[in-house]
Amino acid sequence: TAPLLQLQNYSIRFSTPDGEVQAVSDLDLAVMPGETLAIVGESGSGKSQTFNGVFGLLARNGRTEGQALMAGEDLLAMKSRDLDKIRGRDMAMVFQDPMTALNPAMKIKRQLSEALEVHKGLSRRAAEAEALAMLRTVGIPEAERRFNQYPHELSGGMRQRVVIAMALICRPKLIVADEPTTALDVTIQAQILDLFRDLTADFGTALVLITHDLGVVAGIATRVAVMYAGRVVEEAGVDDLFASPAHPYAAALLRSIPRADRDIAGVDPIPGRPPNLMNLPTGCAFHPRCRHATERCVAERPPLAPVGGDRRAACWHPFSDAPQLSVYDAGLDS
Ligand code: SF4
Ligand code: MG
């Protein structure tokens, strides 16, 4: 099958008073129809900017290069009027703070039904009926009463459900959710992730889940792309990545999260800090933090290359399954 969205030679630069910042470098990444792809990385890795750029939401000093093809059309080359039509109808974005998507002065009813009137040409009555049904679908109790309320009358978790309803209402092919549960408490987080998983499966919607927390992707994603310093450093099926990461950074991320099958003493934070994008390390940008760095890593940047199966990693010394265990043990000892 053809990808739903394909990023090719995709880069993002910001011009700042201190010079050019390359936030995303030469990405080649595909989102397949109906899949859930997690984009994982620390803050500043370029994971949010990548999709802000696709949606035409970069800050004014930012610009994109390359292509972002959706159904053969390059979103980056589109006039903003045409992109507006696609946003909300074919692809929608969900952010960390539901209030960024909600109008505080508008009843839930209007927020939900407006898009149906604009994008689908429904009458107000038909749009409101469909909106109410969608509010039930996202699991809001007493939907009829909530329908006539304003956002501030709802809890944070309920607001995020409303935003998910807004994202889904026109049945888009793609939803991009940027840290959609980070602002919510842990119980609600799990409920919202379950909702994403169930509804994207029911509707056949592809989901790109952007998160700094590798721990949330296990139950929901099919594939994971790990980003570091504006590049994808590993791309793999979620089970493969969890079982045996090929890239030392992906392995370090995995060691840094608490897991049910490991007690808390096994949590091992990644040493050092994410690099300064204005002054990237030479060669592999991860080398100052990598236990396995060699002279070659300092001198030459590794390309993203196949490492067996459907996996790709950008590393001169990727792990195979066997040494992975000893690396984990070494991590605990050091
Ligand atoms: Fe570490 Fe070298 Fe691989 Fe970079 S290329 S992750 S420094 S082993
Ligand atoms: Mg972000």
Task: Please check whether residues 45 and 186 belong to one and the same domain.
Answer: yes
Q: Is residue 161 part of a domain?
A: yes
Residue 176 lies in a domain: yes
Amino acid at 314: A
Q: Is residue 110 part of a domain?
A: yes
How do residues 184-232 score in pLDDT, each as one tens digit? 988 899 999 999 999 999 999 999 999 998 988 988 999 999 999 999 9
**How high does pLDDT run on average in the chain?**
91
Q: What is the average per-residue pLDDT within 280-309?
A: 95
Residue-number span of the structural domain to which 25 is assigned? 5-221
Whether residue 323 is predicted with pLDDT greater than 50 in this model: the reply is no
In this model, does residue 322 exceed pLDDT 70? Answer: no
Q: Tell me, what's the ipTM?
A: 0.97
Q: Which amino acid, one-letter code, is at 248?
A: P
CA distance 32 to 63: 25
Q: Residue of the nearest CA to atom 5 in ligand 1? A: 315
Answer whether residue 313 shows pLDDT above 60.
Answer: yes
226 domain residue, yes or no: no
Say yes or no: 154 and 38 in one domain.
yes
275 dihedral zone (left: phi>0; alpha: psi -120 to 50; beta): beta
pLDDT, mean of residues 229-241 = 97
Ligand nearest to the backbone CA of 226: 1
Q: From ligand 2's centre to the CA of 43, what distance in Å?
A: 6
Q: How far is CA 100 from CA 94, 96, 159, 180, in A?
A: 9, 8, 11, 12
Radius of gyration over every alpha carbon of the chain, rounded to an integer in angstroms: 21
Which ligand lies nearest the alpha carbon of 97? 2
Residue 35 is predicted with a pLDDT of 97
Provide the pLDDT for residue 264.
55
Q: Is 214 within a domain?
A: yes
Domain identity same for 282 and 194? no
Are 164 and 70 in the same domain? Answer: yes
CATH of the domain at 176: 3.40.50.300
Atom of ligand 1 nearest to the CA of 247: 6
Residue 37 scores a pLDDT above 80: yes
Cα dist. 183→174, 176, 234, 316 in Å? 22, 17, 27, 37
In this structure, is residue 250 part of a structural domain? yes
Q: Which atom of ligand 1 is nearest to the CA of 248?
A: 6
Ligand 1 pocket residues where CB is under 6 Å? 247-249, 284, 286-287, 290, 292-293, 297, 302, 315-317
Query: Mind listing the pLDDT tens digit for each residue in 114-147?
Result: 999 999 999 999 999 999 999 999 999 999 999 9
Give the per-residue pLDDT at 181. 93
Query: 249 C-alpha vs ligand 1 centroid, how far in Å?
Result: 8
Name 146's Cβ contacts closer than 8 Å, sequence gap at least 6.
108, 135, 140, 154, 158
The pLDDT of residue 88: 84
**What separation in Å is there between the alpha carbon of 281 and the centre of ligand 2?**
22
In the predicted model, what is the mean pLDDT of residues 171-181? 96
Nearest CA to ligand 1 atom 3: 315
The ligand with the least distance to the CA atom of 46 is 2
Q: Give me ligand 1 centre to Cα 291, in Å.
A: 8
The total number of structural domains in the chain stands at: 2
Residues 194 and 270 grouped into a single domain: no
Q: How far is the CA of 40 from the centre of ligand 2 (A)?
A: 10
Claim to verify: residue 214 and residue 261 sit in the same structural domain: no
The structure tokens listed for 134 are 């969608």
Question: For residue 331, what pLDDT is reported?
Answer: 44
Confidence label for 270 from pLDDT (cuts 50, 70 and 90) = confident
